[in-house]
Structure 1
Amino acid sequence: MSQTQKPASDDHVVLGKLTSPYGVKGWLKVYSYTSPMQGILDYDAWMLRHDGKLRSYRLAQGRPHGKGLVALLDGVEGREQAEALAGAEILLPKTALPELDDADDFYWHQLIGLKVVTLDGIVLGHVDNLFETGANDVLVVKGSPQQGDESRERLLPYLYGDVVREVDLDAGVMTVDWDPEF
């Protein structure tokens, strides 16, 4: 499963965010949602969403720095301009994402929102988000109003073929082998 985080809209996905200026020459610290982290630097055309506005930038340079990343965008020439972009989300058109090699591979944004149903047809809720644990990715499934447990949250390991039996993106359904009582 390939990681890109939040769906931004029907056309874009959020790849990361700009967190704060780095230095005085316009560089910014980048928090990447991609796996591997440096994957965000493979895209040279970034759409930034900040204060409800969208604006395109070209990635001039980017590199790992410490445990994170830093980037310089064309047209951002000093610390003040970088500060003005701090907090911006980095968007990418979904059409720019590479095709996945395996039919059983999915981007995270494709899984968020899917209805989660057991093999017996019991609705557990929907995929609210995902996170990494090191051993495997984990699905956060929010409860179902039909079951009267909309406040319930389940953590299911994303183990395709074992726990996750089928993903039907067209139908918006993920079928899992999971005890609804757990």
Structure 2
Amino acid sequence: MQLIVGRIGRAHGIKGDVTVEVRTDEPELRLGPGAVLMTDPSSAGPLTVASGKVHSGRLLLRFEGVNDRNGAEALRGTMLIAEIDPEDTPEDPDEYYDHQLVGLDVVLSDGTLVGELTEVLHLPYQDLLTVVRPDGTEVLVPFVSEIVPEIDLEAQRAVITPPPGLIDAAQAVVASSRDEEPEAADEKSGEADA
């Protein structure tokens, strides 16, 4: 099974280092020295990690055979893909690989089907779950324990407790009506009648 673990960004310096947008919770395992990674586009690789370090909060990697800035710039935008055993699971029981989550039924706590989990988006601020509803529309669900309290791989489902408006626009509370106090609203209607 293949897992996207990073995306190559800009060249850094003149010796072939590149910045990498990490898309794995285990960068030390998937992007460590000696790791051999497939690439998309495939014309860029496979690439073997020669060295890595964190500089100013960014992961910098150097690949074997890429020894200058021009070679590093040519890799910009390339996706890094690791081969993993489908039976592998993260050490932390509250962590999951994307392939474990894709295909799960997404249900509310009362069992109501919301849709199918089709993708996990790894964004800098948090992960999002892409859920395709039965009518074909998509909804993005923040992958945080308050909203996704339960992942049951055995039952092939993810239980969510979404805040109002996340799943159904009809549940949304209109901000202006929430901000007005009931008495103030009554006074306004009384003034209009006078």
Counterpart amino acid of 1:159? S
Q: Which residue in the other structure is 1:5 paired with?
A: none
Shift in alpha-carbon separation, 1:42–1:102, aligned structure 2, 3 A: same
Structure 2 unaligned spans of 5+: 172-194
> Of the two, which has the highest radius of gyration?
2
Q: Which residue in the other structure is 1:153 paired with?
A: 139
Higher strand share: 1
Distance 2:49 2:39 in 1: 15
Distance 2:124 2:49 in 1: 30
Match of 2:149 among 160, 164, 168: 164
Displacement of 1:72: 1.0
Displacement of 1:19: 0.8
Distance 2:25 2:92 in 1: 17
Q: Are the equivalent residues in 1 in contact too, given 2:10–2:73 (CA < 8 A)? A: yes
**Which has the larger displacement, 105-114 or 84-93?**
105-114
Helix, strand or coil at the partner of 2:145: coil
Q: Are the equivalent residues in 1 in contact too, given 2:38–2:46 (CA < 8 A)? A: yes
Helix, strand or coil at the partner of 2:73: helix
Match of 1:16 among 6, 9, 19: 6
When the two structures are superposed, what TM-score results if normalisation uses the length of structure 2?
0.66
Q: How many residues align?
A: 165
State whether structure 2 residue 80 is matched by structure 1 residue 94.
no
Deviations 1:112-158 (A, max 9, x none): 34221234432101223245787xx654343422xx3x325253553
Give the superposed CA RMSD: 3.4
Shift in alpha-carbon separation, 1:80–1:68, aligned structure 2, 3 A: same
Q: Give the number of the structure with larger relative contact order, counting CA–CA contacts within 8 Å between residues 6 or more apart.
A: 1
Q: Are the equivalent residues in 2 in contact too, given 1:45–1:56 (CA < 8 A)? A: no
Shift in alpha-carbon separation, 1:81–1:141, aligned structure 2, 3 A: closer
Distance 1:23 1:133 in 2: 24
Distance 1:168 1:110 in 2: 7
State whether structure 2 residue 23 is matched by structure 1 residue 71.
no
Structure 1 unaligned spans of 5+: 1-10
When the two structures are superposed, what TM-score results if normalisation uses the length of structure 1?
0.69
Displacement of 1:56: 2.1
- For residues 18-167 of structure 1, the aligned pairs below 5 Å read 18-35=8-25, 40-42=30-32, 44-53=34-43, 55-95=45-85, 99-127=89-117, 128-130=119-121, 139-145=128-134, 148=135, 150-159=136-145, 163-167=148-152
Shift in alpha-carbon separation, 1:97–1:21, aligned structure 2, 3 A: farther
Displacement of 1:18: 0.9
Query: Matched residues, percent identical?
Result: 23
